[in-house]
Amino acid sequence: MKSLLVRLRPAIFVALLSVALVGLSGNLLIAKKVVAHLILPAGLLWLAAGAVMVWPGLGRWARLAAFGFWLLYTLAGSPYMGVALLRILEAPYYPHEQPTERLDALVLLGGGTGLSPGGRPALGLHGDRITRPAILHHEGLVGTLVTTGRSVTEAGEDRLLSRETAELWQGLGIPAAAIVEIPEPRNTREELAAVAKLVETHPEWKRLGLCTSASHLARALAEARAVGLDPVPVPSDFRSGKLVLSPLYLVPQGRGFRDVQTALWEFMGRAL
């Protein structure tokens, strides 16, 4: 009997972990979501890694290595870890969500747009970067809107993110005369260098704002200061809101991997 239990240990571990998570769900709706996450690729790999961790016959160091991998995978895909890391980046900009004085111009760094199957500009995953400046313009808090950048990570011709943003802004009621496009830059450093040159030709821009995802803002402001700019931070696309305590978020999932990677990308960018 003991030998059978040893052989079944991986299956027992997976079953007990799954039952515990479902049992802690509190209601049928959350329980269904927990089960769905467990049978999706990220959840299945997590369960499989946990099974390997308790596999019979593993040596001590192999078991420790398996546990280390399982733990790192758990943290890398944890929405709680993602939110905690993003909060370090975003929290300094919570008070700056709404400008207290009117900005003569607001620079939006490229990003936040996508393309429909027909090639039409659309709001992407970080679409708040597009709508926030438009709202501020309609509220009378921003004069000129400056959009920058292009994408160089896709096949075919470069996507002009600045053009896509300008088209969306016009669709949201922003006059074309209030929009300036800078399509040449390919990354944050090039974008801010181009903005610095543009500002030299607009002495009337006494108060300049800089808008991007809140998690990216610290690095963007550092790049701006490096080229002689001192813009007012205008954060958007906050993703560090508090999560409820739920077994749903104990299962590694796409949201967790995305947020953890976003935060680590920014920390790495600061260090390089």
Is the CB of residue 127 less than 8 Å from the CB of residue 164?
Answer: no
pLDDT score at 226: 94
Q: How far is CA 5 from CA 9, 10, 13, in A?
A: 6, 9, 11
Q: Has domain 98-236 been given CATH number 3.40.50.720?
A: no
Angle, CA 73 vertex, CA 68 and CA 74 arms, to 5°: 100
Q: What is the chain's pLDDT, residue by residue, as a tens digit (272 residues)? A: 557 666 778 888 989 999 999 999 989 999 999 999 999 999 999 999 999 999 988 888 999 999 999 999 999 999 999 999 999 999 999 999 999 899 999 999 988 898 888 889 999 889 999 999 999 999 999 999 999 988 876 655 678 899 999 999 999 999 999 999 999 888 899 999 999 999 999 999 999 999 999 999 999 999 999 999 999 999 999 999 999 999 999 999 999 999 999 999 999 988 87
| 131 Cβ contact list (under 8 Å, min separation 6) | 123, 172
Count Cβ neighbours within 10 Å for each residue of 80-92 and write b for 16 or more, e otherwise: bbbbebbbebbee
pLDDT score at 128: 94
Q: Look up the pTM and report it.
A: 0.90
Query: If phi over 0 gives left and psi between -120 and 50 gives alpha, with beta otherwise, what is residue 121?
Result: beta
Domain assignments of the chain as residue spans, ordered by start: 2-88+252-271, 98-236
